[in-house]
Amino acid sequence: MDMQKFRENAWNGLWKQNTGLAQLLGLCPILAISTSMVNAVSLGLATVLVMAMVNLAVASLRNFIPYEIRIPIFVLIIAALVTMVDLAFNAWLHGLYLVLGIFIPLITTNCIVLARVEAYAAKNDALSSTVDGLMMGLGLVWVLALLGGIRELAGSGTLFSGIDMIVPGLSAIQLFGDDYPGFLIAILPPGAFFALGVLIAAFNWINQRAAARHRAHPQPAAEAPAAG
Amino acid sequence: MIARYTAARTSLRTALIMLVFTLLFTAAMAFTYGLTRPAIEASELAEKMRLINEVLPPGSYDNALLEDVLRLGPTPELGLAQGGALYRARKAGEPAALVLEAEAPDGYAGRIKLVLAVTADGRVSGVRVTSHKETPGLGDYIDPKKDRNKERPWITQFTGAGHDRVDAAAWKVRRDGGVFDAPTGATISARAVTNATGRALGWALARRDALFAAAPGSTLDTGKE
C-alpha cells in the first residue's frame, strides 16, 4: 500500500466521508452515548477496534465468501468479533463496561460497520481495508469526542468525568465551578440532536468555504486533498 | 461443466460455506469466552464487594460475606418481583449485619434498585443506588457519584438511622411529614428511595433472627409469610 492510497483513506475517513458528519451513519450510538466525553470516546474506540478487525477479517477472507451469501457472512463475522470485544471489555475494563452497557453489543447493528465492509473491505486488500476501518472509526471518534465534550461542558460544566474508570487516579475537570447549575437539555437526547446539527452545519460551512476558495484559486487536482 | 452448477449443487455449496464460517467464528468466540472467563468473574466479584463496602465498613465483619448468602423468593416488601439475594455479615460468629437488595417501584422514571445494610442492632449502615433511570442532573443525586454535595451526599443521611432514632411513621421525606431532607423540585426520587429504604428496614427487623439463623445457600420463601 503506497503513501498516496494511505492519505486518501485517511482523508476520506477523517474528513471527507466522515461517518458522523457526512455519511450520517450509525447515529444511534452517537446520539445516545455522547453525554460525556469519556463515554463517547470509549465507545468510539471500541467501534474503531471492531471496524479495523472486521475489515481485516473480511478482506482476508473475501475470496472464500460467495457473493450471494456475503451479507449473512458479513453479519456473522461482525457479530462474532463484537462479542469478542464485548467479552474483553467485560474482563479488563469492567467499570467502563458497566457504563457502556448495551451499546457495545449494539455495535453489531451499527450500519457504518456493515457499510464499510460492503463498500470497501469486500473489494480491497487486507492492509488498506484495515487502514480504512481505522480511519473511518477515528473519524467517528473525533466527532464523538467533540460532541461529548460540548454536551458534557454545557450540561454539567465538567470535562473528562468518569476518566477514573479508565485511568484510576485521574479525576474530572470542573470548569465552571461547583455552583454551575447545569444546562440540562444538553445531556438529554434533544441536546444530542442540537449539538450534532451545529457540528454538521460547521462542517458544511468549512467545506463550502474551501470549495469557494478552490474556485477562486484553482489548484492542480492532485493537491485537492490538502485543502480545508 | 455448466450442468454441474445446478440449483441443488449451488445451495449445498453455499450452505456448506456458511456452516464452515459459523463453526470458525463460533470457535473463535468460545476461545475468547474461555480466555476472559476468570477475569470477568473476578471483576464481577470485585464490583459486588466494592458496592457492599460502601454500605458496610469492611472492618465490621470477618466472615466470607458473599458465601453466607440467602436466596429470596419474590418479596413484595422489598420490591423484589423476581426475588434477590441477601448476605449475612458476622463478626466472630455473631450476627453483625444484613446486606440486602431492594427496589423502589415508584421512581420518577421507573424502578430504582438499591442495596442496603442493616446492622444487628437495627440501624441502617448505608444505602446505595445500583441502578436507576432518574433525570440526569435533576433526580440522579440519589447516586452519590452524581450528587453535587460531595461532603455529605443526600443518600448518606440514612447512615446510622434506625427505628430507635427515627420512628417508622416518620420515615418519610420532610414534605410528607417525615424527617428526611429532599431537594426541592426533585422530591419524587427522594421519596421513592426513602420509602423503599424504610420498608426494607422494617422487613429485615421483623425477621432478623430468622434471617441470621437460616442455613447458608438456602432459599427463603418470603412470598407466603
State which H helix or E strand residue A154 sits in.
helix A126-156
Q: What contacts B190, CB < 8 A, 6 or more positions away?
A: B142, B154, B173, B180, B181, B182, B183
Contacts 24+ apart (CB under 8 A), B87-93: B87/B52, B88/B63, B88/B211, B88/B212, B88/B216, B89/B56, B89/B60, B89/B61, B89/B63, B89/B65, B89/B117, B90/B61, B90/B62, B90/B63, B90/B212, B91/B60, B91/B61, B91/B62, B91/B63, B92/B62
Residue A83 is nearest to which of B14, B29, B136, comparing CB atoms?
Answer: B29
Is the CB of residue B30 less than 8 Å away from at least one CB of chain A? Answer: no
- Express each pLDDT in B19-31 by its tens digit: 999 999 999 999 9
Is the CB of residue B14 less than 8 Å away from at least one CB of chain A? Answer: yes
Phi, psi of A46 (to 5 degrees): -60, -40
List, run by run, the mean pLDDT of 10-residue segments along chain A (228 residues). Answer: 84 88 81 86 90 95 91 94 92 82 84 91 93 93 92 85 74 75 82 92 93 81 46
d(CA A150, CA A173): 14
CB spacing of B43 vs A188 below 8 angstroms: no
Q: Quick one: how far is CA B208 from the chain centroid? A: 20
d(CA A69, CA B18): 8
Is the CB of residue B218 less than 8 Å away from at least one CB of chain A? Answer: no
Residue B136 is nearest to which of A35, A65, A84, comparing CB atoms?
Answer: A35
Residue B74 near residue B83 (C-beta atoms within 8 A): yes
Q: How far is B132 from chain A (nearest CA, A)?
A: 13
Domain range summary for chain B, segments of one domain joined by +? 2-50, 58-220
pLDDT (0 to 100) of residue B2: 54
The C-alpha cell of A65 is what?
Answer: 465468501
ipTM for the complex shown: 0.76
Residue A208 near residue A201 (C-beta atoms within 8 A): no
pLDDT (0 to 100) of residue A98: 80
Residue A73 is nearest to which of B21, B37, B138, comparing CB atoms?
Answer: B21
CA angle A82, A86, A90 (to 5 degrees): 170
Q: Quick one: how far is CA A142 from the chain centroid? A: 7
Q: Which of B222, B212, B224 is nearest to B69 (CA)?
A: B212
Is the CB of residue A87 less than 8 Å away from at least one CB of chain B? Answer: yes
pLDDT (0 to 100) of residue B128: 93
Is the CB of residue A155 less than 8 Å away from at least one CB of chain B? Answer: yes
Print pLDDT tens along chain B (225 aa). Answer: 455 668 888 889 989 999 999 999 999 999 999 999 999 888 888 888 888 998 999 888 998 888 888 888 888 889 988 888 899 999 988 899 999 999 999 999 889 999 999 999 889 999 999 888 888 778 888 988 878 787 889 999 999 888 888 888 889 998 898 899 888 888 899 999 999 999 999 999 998 888 898 888 888 765 544
CB spacing of A84 vs B26 below 8 angstroms: no
- Which residue, among B14, B132, B146, B152, would best test binding to A if mutated, counting the most A CBs under 10 Å from its CB? B14
- Express each pLDDT in B178-201 by its tens digit: 899 888 888 899 999 999 999 999
pLDDT (0 to 100) of residue B1: 47
Q: Write the DSSP symbol of residue B12.
A: H
pTM of the predicted model as reported, rounded to 2 decimal places: 0.73
| Strand B110-119 versus strand B94-107 pairing type | antiparallel
